[in-house]
């Protein structure tokens, strides 16, 4: 046998012996590592899924709040269904599966009192006049909305934003004939953004979220209305404890900070 062949054979034998020793060790190491990684949490715990029905004006802020909640509560996933409060109430009355409800007024929540736990007001809001960017029609006050040359859009009377709008317009004896009445306040905002309306009454937070597309004309407090947002668990919730925890979290400093940054007022 040549020196080359002898040396090659010894190297091959050593490699085989080394592999035979290290394979069992590697297998043990992988197993221990997996157990260590899961020692801080229960990997077998099922994922908790919550469905929250929320007023359309909460769309942007609740997406941010939901992400923050999920980060602080690993294993919990929240699905939001946004619509006008009157639509949400109808869904609850029809038995649509959900865990919690947040409306843009207390009257809507009162309609499903038999289906909810005790509601808690988590935030407040006010109306502003949304106009096209730059306010080309120079709208300065509520009274300007009575101009027949303006295309004004409002939320429908059964929508909280529509009720608040009518309340403040009637209080000032301002007659406005809207070109359309929308199913929720976000639809009102969209009409102004797209140029299909010259102005519309929306919540301050909605206008702030579209600041690069619309201008907001402030309405004095004495002429304005305060929108209250109550939150409650639903009695038919699939995850009642988790739903109660989320509703309670909405009143915590962390959640309130998110709401304040979005322009909502404290409860």
Q: Which fold has domain 125-226?
A: D-Maltodextrin-Binding Protein; domain 2 (3.40.190)
Tens of pLDDT, residue by residue, the chain (267 residues):
444 344 444 444 344 434 443 333 333 333 333 333 333 445 556 799 999 999 999 999 999 999 999 999 999 999 999 999 999 999 999 999 999 999 999 999 999 999 999 999 999 999 999 999 999 999 999 999 999 999 999 999 999 999 999 999 999 999 999 999 999 999 999 999 999 999 999 999 999 999 999 999 999 999 999 999 999 999 999 999 999 999 999 999 999 999 999 999 999
Q: How many helices (H) and strands (E) are present in the chain, helices listed first?
A: 9, 9
Residue 146 phi, psi (nearest 5): -80, -10
pTM: 0.81
Residue 197 sits at the vertex; the CA angle it makes with 195 and 202, to the nearest 5 degrees, is: 110
**Residue ranges of domains in the chain:** 48-124+227-261, 125-226
23, two tokens: 């394979």
CB atoms within 10 A of CB 199: 28
CATH architecture of 48-124+227-261: 3-Layer(aba) Sandwich (3.40)
Same fold flag, 48-124+227-261 and 125-226: yes
């Amino acid at each position: 046998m040549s020196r080359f062949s002898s040396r090659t054979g010894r190297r091959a034998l050593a490699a085989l012996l080394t592999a035979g020793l290290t394979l069992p060790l590697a297998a043990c190491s992988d197993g221990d590592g997996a157990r260590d990684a899961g020692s801080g949490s229960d990997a077998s715990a099922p994922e908790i899924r919550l469905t929250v029905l929320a007023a359309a004006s909460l769309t942007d802020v609740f997406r941010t709040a939901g992400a923050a909640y999920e980060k602080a509560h690993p294993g919990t996933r929240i699905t939001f269904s946004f619509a006008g409060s009157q639509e949400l109430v109808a869904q609850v009355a029809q038995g649509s599966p959900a865990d919690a409800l947040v409306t843009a007024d207390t009257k809507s929540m009162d309609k499903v009192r038999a289906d909810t736990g005790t509601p808690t007001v988590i935030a407040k809001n006010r109306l502003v006049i949304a106009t096209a960017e730059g306010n080309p029609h120079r709208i300065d006050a509520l009274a300007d909305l009575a101009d027949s040359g303006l295309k004004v859009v409002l939320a429908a009377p059964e929508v909280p934003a529509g009720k608040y709008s009518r309340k403040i317009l009637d209080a000032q004896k301002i007659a406005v004939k809207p070109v359309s009445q929308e199913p929720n306040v976000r639809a009102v905002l969209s009409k102004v953004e797209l140029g299909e309306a010259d102005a519309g009454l929306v919540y301050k937070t909605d206008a702030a979220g579209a600041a690069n597309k619309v201008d907001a004309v402030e309405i004095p407090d004495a002429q304005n209305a305060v929108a209250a947002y109550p939150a409650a668990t639903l009695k038919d919730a699939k995850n009642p404890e988790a739903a109660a925890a989320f509703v309670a979290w909405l009143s915590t400093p962390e959640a309130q900070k998110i709401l304040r940054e979005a322009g909502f007022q404290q409860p």
